[in-house]
Amino acid sequence: MKKLFLFIMLLAALPVLYPQRGLGQQKITSVLTGKILEAGSRLPLAGASVSILGKSGASRADADGMFRLSVEGKAIIMVSYVGYASKSVELSEGQATVEILLTKKASDLEDVVVIGYGKQKKKDITSAISSISGDEIKQMPVTTINGALQSRIPGMQVQHTGHEPGAGTNVKIRGINSITQGAGPIYVVDGVITTGDLREINPNDVASIDVLKDASAAAIYGARAAEGVVIITTKKASTGRASINYDAYYGVQKIVKGYDFIDNIDDYVHLRRLGWSDEDPRAWPIGDSAADAKLFHPLELKSIANRKWYDWESVVTRPAPMQSHTLSVSNGVGKNKLYLSGNYLNQDGIIRGSNFTRYSVKANVESELNDKVKAGINSNFSHINNKVVSNETYYNAVTMSPLFPIYNDDGTPSSNIDPSSGNIQFNNPVTLTESPIQRVDDRYIANVYVEYKVIKDLQFRSSFGVDIYKNQQFEYYPRTTSNGFSKNGVAKAQNFGYRDMLWENTLTYDYNPHQHHSFNFLGGFTYQRRRQEWNYEEASGFPTDELTYKNMSLASRRDNISSDYFNWAIQSLLGRVIYKYKDRYILNGTVRRDGSSRFGSKNKYGVFPSVSGAWRLIDEPFIGIRTKTVLSDAKLRVSYGVIGNQEIPWDATFFRMNAAAYPFNGSTQTTGYQVNGSVLGNDALQWESQHQFNAGVDLAIINDRIRVSFDYYNKNVRNLLLRADLPVSQGFDTKWINVAEMNTRGMDVSLKVSPVKTKNFDWQLDINWSKYRSKVTSLLPGRDSLSPYLKVGEAPNSLIVDYVYDGLYNAGDDFKLNPGGRPGDVRVKDMDGNGVINQFDRTIVGRTVPKGWGGIWNYVRFKQFSLVVFANYMYGQDISNRAYQDYLYSTDNRRRILKSGLNYWTPEHTQTDLPRPNVFGRSVRTLPAGTSSFIVQKGDFIRIRNITLSYDFTAKMLSKLKVNSLRVYAQVMEPFLITKYKGIDPEIGVSQYDVYPRYRTFLAGVQLSL
């Protein structure tokens, strides 16, 4: 399939690779040598783009601003450089040299930012919007769009759910926006509104990403915008320029050492014995052969006798290759433009059996049919094969007893069978790597549009978009696993898919009644509908494991068959007015009315308005020339808006019927339907609404060498949607209600500095920092708590509740609070002072919401060499690391033990925090939960995410190679992590039991333009 894919891409490129030439007069071909300089300073503009109008390709100026081009006859060359006004230069036939001076823009404020249903110059933005360009993404290649956004956008948190290939992400914009957590931000891809982490889209196809963070920016999207809006614009062709681009890299991923386990057989065996002896010294005397026979598996006893030690982790992990290839063709001839690209990505996982492979094709076509009508299509298709090993694979590999053999004598993976029960105790991780979960994704996102210029300044646009997604997942558990052992194999098959349809119609009118006054009016109607279905089948009892899930009809039992189908729709009216006075006073007002099928007839519609304004202080007459030599830009912004949230189950407002089943005559009969007894429908549900105030300031000093943006926001969420428990007398378990309110306040800061900019040396620094504080302000009447984790005054679902660690007991201590305790046990605090330790002594011992986070992007160029170092950081969050506790001194179930566990308490060694070894891994021996704040650790970290060293070939080299631009680079991803956290990765922030291991990636790549 890979070869076919590349062949199709090459065929598509042929018209550009070999353009047809008409017969005519032979033109003189000459070599043009030129220099591109900054007007005034006459500093060379390294990297400036030079192209011949109507011809393929573009050249790049070298560190001296020099370039070379082959030119036929008379020609017009186009010159552009970021931050400078583009320029066209007409050449005479045979001209050999040229010098071009580019004038710097007043600032990059003339650049265009994509907003909802339109575009706006950056200087006119009145709300909180952050952007990242395709060129910035290109400097540090990533596999996903969210990976490109991680720690680059102030106020936006992007956290990967794991390290496995194809792992998803959790995205939050400006903190916690709902107790139900919603579905993350919406993504608007070339006008198509969708959700998910968009791992199907190739980042190389992205031209720009704009993140709408405050309510005034996002309110134009109404009920879909509660979690923020990310607008993605993909690349399009430019008129008069044709190019072929190839972007590829190849690398290897290597595991980063995680936990430091005991690797000495004597220490390990001693701790195993000591843990059981501590429970009952008489029943488990250390070194007693009868006790060892109960404590160790027979195969472990054999390993002890032969002093055999097995490294399970090294067997299931590997150095893993990864590669990516992107070929794109871009051409604009007359009034027609075409951009076509294809991508192939293959990433093996460092755990054997895991893999992520993506094929994607992107096509953007635009045509001006006449002076009034323009039409186009933007489309993206992707196919993903994702092999995912079971979550327990790595967990078993790092916890499996190193005394247990990995393979049987015949070379097959061993089975850890309990001699007493005859059942498999632990799945051999090698077996799990041989039976990965198979996931197949197909996704098609497309948007067809027509634009019609009704009259001058009045334009109508109609677009029809689709997002079609299909996911298939297959699992098989052979007889050699605990799941399939007693059932003669278990197969599972799942299909999930949806079809989104979006129809949008907008009318835009620009009205300029006076040189100092300008208006932009927008009105529109949109309709979106989703149809979603899911089905699942589980079967067991297979005659052989050879066919796995590929022929489920061979199964003797159908254990589970389920399916579901639903659809929802939302229709909207929207409007916006932007008013400017003297280009320095800007007002922006929007309103959107949404009607959602998820709500009952009484509350189906919601209205979401916003207003924002900006004052370009720098353009005021009272800002003198002397001040402007230091202060190059100053703008104040303020906004207020309301956005909604419809993220509740589609059936939350009505009663749902389920098949009624009852036992009869030895079998289960289904003859009718009954009301679902778990959720009580609520037709009175109202829209959850978010009211947000934002105030910001944008400053630039010393000719834009330093740029600062600061935003403060205050969000109040009302009518929070919550699934509440019901009394037993109701006959239902839960009900969706509007009950709570929540407040979030925070700050976003962005600092961009260009300390040095000379002919041969350029240094740019980009730092961002964010923080927020969320708290529930009200719950049910008369209630300040609905659970230990949901309390008034605290952020929802962010609390760690446990006993408070108070050191270890020593000989002579009072054991009144722990009657069954002994010296070396953990002591916890009696929080209510009643002399009894019970569940009422559990209290807040940590908070998972960070106090701050951000990113640091550092770019240095010396002549043709460039170095990018990117880091991110987070501080102030706590993590409950239960896995660390279990690995530390749990000696049951034949687990491995951390080296630090050797520092345990003894009567002779009391200066330690680690209790005596015990069987069940409990930090509090006499409590059922067995945990305390002992396992709560600080998750602060600073991580160097990426180091990239690149070289751009000079114009002279490019001329010899007959290419327009060539960049080669080497990259290291995840080279350093600085943290005191004792788990695998503080950024994942979960229990760490089933976390995929961290790895470091070494890449080499090339970016070529013809």
The answer to whether 393 and 383 have CB atoms below 8 angstroms apart is no
Instruction: Look up the CATH number of the domain holding residue 242.
Output: 2.170.130.10
- Nearest CA among 653, 655, 658, 796 for reference residue 736: 653
| Residue with the two structure tokens 């011809």 | 55
Q: What is the rounded distance in angstroms from the CA atom of residue 843 to the CA atom of residue 847?
A: 12
Give the mean model confidence (pLDDT) for residues 173-194.
Answer: 85
Handedness of CA 884, 890, 894, 896 (dihedral sign): positive
856 and 985 co-located in one domain: yes
pLDDT in tens, 808-833: 999 888 888 888 788 888 889 999 99
161 and 71 co-located in one domain: no
Asked, for residue 811, whether it belongs to a domain, the answer is yes
857 and 993 co-located in one domain: yes
Question: What is the separation of C-alpha 953 from the centre of its chain, rounded to a whole number of angstroms?
Answer: 34
72 and 176 co-located in one domain: no
Whether the pLDDT of residue 517 is over 80: the answer is: yes
pLDDT in tens, 569-619: 999 999 999 999 998 999 999 999 999 988 888 888 999 999 999 999 998
Give a three-class secondary structure readout of 289-351. HHHHHHHCCHHHHHHHHHCCCCCHHHHHECCEEEEEEEEEEEEEECCEEEEEEEEEEEEECCE
Last residue of some domain: 50, 73, 102?
102
Q: What is the rounded distance in angstroms from the CA atom of residue 852 to the CA atom of residue 854?
A: 7
> Quick one: pLDDT at residue 658?
60
Asked, for residue 494, whether it belongs to a domain, the answer is no
The answer to whether 58 and 1009 have CB atoms below 8 angstroms apart is yes
Give the mean model confidence (pLDDT) for residues 966-991.
Answer: 88
Other C-beta atoms lying within 10 Å of the C-beta of residue 44: 20
The answer to whether 921 and 33 have CB atoms below 8 angstroms apart is no
pLDDT in tens, 549-570: 888 888 899 888 998 888 999 9
- Nearest CA among 295, 96, 326 for reference residue 201: 326
- Percent of the chain whose predicted confidence (pLDDT) is above 90: 45
Asked, for residue 181, whether it belongs to a domain, the answer is yes
Q: Which two tokens stand for residue 515?
A: 């040189």
Name the pLDDT band for 883 (thresholds 50, 70, 90): confident
Handedness of CA 78, 81, 83, 84 (dihedral sign): negative
- Nearest CA among 494, 492, 491 for reference residue 542: 491
Whether the pLDDT of residue 18 is over 50: the answer is: no
Give the mean model confidence (pLDDT) for residues 342-348.
Answer: 96
Question: What are the DSSP calls for 6-47, one per residue?
Answer: HHHHHHHHHHHHS------PPPPEEEEEEEEEETTT--B-TT
Backbone torsion region of residue 122, taken as left when φ is above 0, otherwise alpha when ψ lies between -120 and 50, otherwise beta: alpha
103/344: higher pLDDT: 344
Whether the pLDDT of residue 94 is over 90: the answer is: no
90 and 184 co-located in one domain: no
Whether the pLDDT of residue 884 is over 50: the answer is: yes
H or E element, residue 212: strand 206-212
Handedness of CA 59, 65, 68, 71 (dihedral sign): positive
Asked, for residue 1001, whether it belongs to a domain, the answer is yes
| Residue with the two structure tokens 């094929």 | 359
* Residue 803 DSSP one-character state: P
> Quick one: pLDDT at residue 684?
82
Phi, psi dihedral angles at 708 (to 5 degrees): -130, 135
Please tell me the chain's helix, strand, coil percentages from 3-state DSSP, rounded to the nearest 5: 15, 50, 35
> Quick one: pLDDT at residue 363?
95
74 and 201 co-located in one domain: no
Whether the pLDDT of residue 229 is over 90: the answer is: yes
Lowest mean pLDDT among 344-358, 547-561, 667-681: 667-681
- Arithmetic mean of pLDDT over the chain: 86
> Quick one: pLDDT at residue 307?
95
Strands (E), 54-154: 55-56, 59-60, 66-72, 75-80, 87-91, 97-102, 112-115, 118-121, 129-133
Backbone torsion region of residue 626, taken as left when φ is above 0, otherwise alpha when ψ lies between -120 and 50, otherwise beta: alpha
> Quick one: pLDDT at residue 956?
84
Q: Are strands 320-333 and 241-255 parallel, antiparallel or unpaired?
A: antiparallel
pLDDT in tens, 230-257: 999 999 887 666 789 999 999 999 999 8
Whether the pLDDT of residue 282 is over 90: the answer is: no
Name the pLDDT band for 9 (thresholds 50, 70, 90): very low
Q: What is the rounded distance in angstroms from the CA atom of residue 349 to the CA atom of residue 353?
A: 7
Question: What are the DSSP calls for 564-631, one per residue?
Answer: EEEEEEEEEEEEEEEEEETTTEEEEEEEEEEEETTS-GGG-EEEEEEEEEEE-GGGSTTS-HHHHTTE
> How many domains does one find in the chain?
4
The answer to whether 579 and 518 have CB atoms below 8 angstroms apart is yes
Whether the pLDDT of residue 166 is over 80: the answer is: yes
Q: Provide the residue range defining the domain that includes 173.
A: 108-249
What is residue 816's three-state secondary structure? coil
Q: What is the rounded distance in angstroms from the CA atom of residue 618 to the CA atom of residue 631?
A: 8
Whether the pLDDT of residue 10 is over 50: the answer is: no
Q: What is the rounded distance in angstroms from the CA atom of residue 914 to the CA atom of residue 904?
A: 5
Q: What is the rounded distance in angstroms from the CA atom of residue 714 to the CA atom of residue 698?
A: 19
337, with CB counted inside 10 A (0-12, 13-18, 19+), is buried
What is residue 903's three-state secondary structure? coil
pLDDT in tens, 706-739: 999 999 999 999 988 887 777 777 677 788 888 8
Q: What is the rounded distance in angstroms from the CA atom of residue 515 to the CA atom of residue 783?
A: 59
Q: Which two tokens stand for residue 115?
A: 């907003």
235 and 275 co-located in one domain: no
Asked, for residue 574, whether it belongs to a domain, the answer is no
Residues 6+ positions from 928 with CB-CB distance below 8 Å: none
Name the pLDDT band for 991 (thresholds 50, 70, 90): low
Other C-beta atoms lying within 10 Å of the C-beta of residue 563: 10
Whether the pLDDT of residue 373 is over 90: the answer is: yes
Phi, psi dihedral angles at 583 (to 5 degrees): 60, 15
864 and 1005 co-located in one domain: yes
Indicate the residue type of 528.
Q
Q: What is the rounded distance in angstroms from the CA atom of residue 774 to the CA atom of residue 744?
A: 4
972 and 850 co-located in one domain: yes
Whether the pLDDT of residue 387 is over 50: the answer is: yes
93 and 139 co-located in one domain: no
Asked, for residue 359, whether it belongs to a domain, the answer is no
Asked, for residue 967, whether it belongs to a domain, the answer is yes
Whether the pLDDT of residue 873 is over 90: the answer is: yes
Lowest mean pLDDT among 464-468, 645-649, 742-746, 801-805: 645-649
Name the pLDDT band for 922 (thresholds 50, 70, 90): low
Last residue of some domain: 50, 72, 102?
102
Which pairs from 517-523 meet CB under 8 Å and 24+ separation?
517/579, 517/580, 517/581, 518/579, 518/580, 519/577, 519/578, 519/579, 519/580, 520/118, 520/576, 520/577, 520/578, 521/575, 521/576, 521/577, 522/117, 522/118, 522/574, 522/575, 522/576, 522/577, 523/574, 523/575
Asked, for residue 555, whether it belongs to a domain, the answer is no
676/91: higher pLDDT: 91
The answer to whether 981 and 938 have CB atoms below 8 angstroms apart is yes
Strands (E), 816-964: 826-828, 843-847, 852-862, 865-875, 878-880, 936-938, 941-952
> Quick one: pLDDT at residue 657?
58
Order the strands of the 49-52 sheet from edge to edge.
Answer: 59-60, 49-52, 75-80, 87-91
Last residue of some domain: 249, 277, 299?
249
Give the mean model confidence (pLDDT) for residues 403-414.
Answer: 89
984 and 969 co-located in one domain: yes
The answer to whether 155 and 746 have CB atoms below 8 angstroms apart is yes
- Nearest CA among 416, 417, 434, 426 for reference residue 395: 426
> Quick one: pLDDT at residue 992?
58
Whether the pLDDT of residue 19 is over 50: the answer is: no
43 and 157 co-located in one domain: no
Whether the pLDDT of residue 106 is over 90: the answer is: no
Q: Give first-to-last CA distance, the chain, whole Å.
A: 26
> Quick one: pLDDT at residue 661?
56
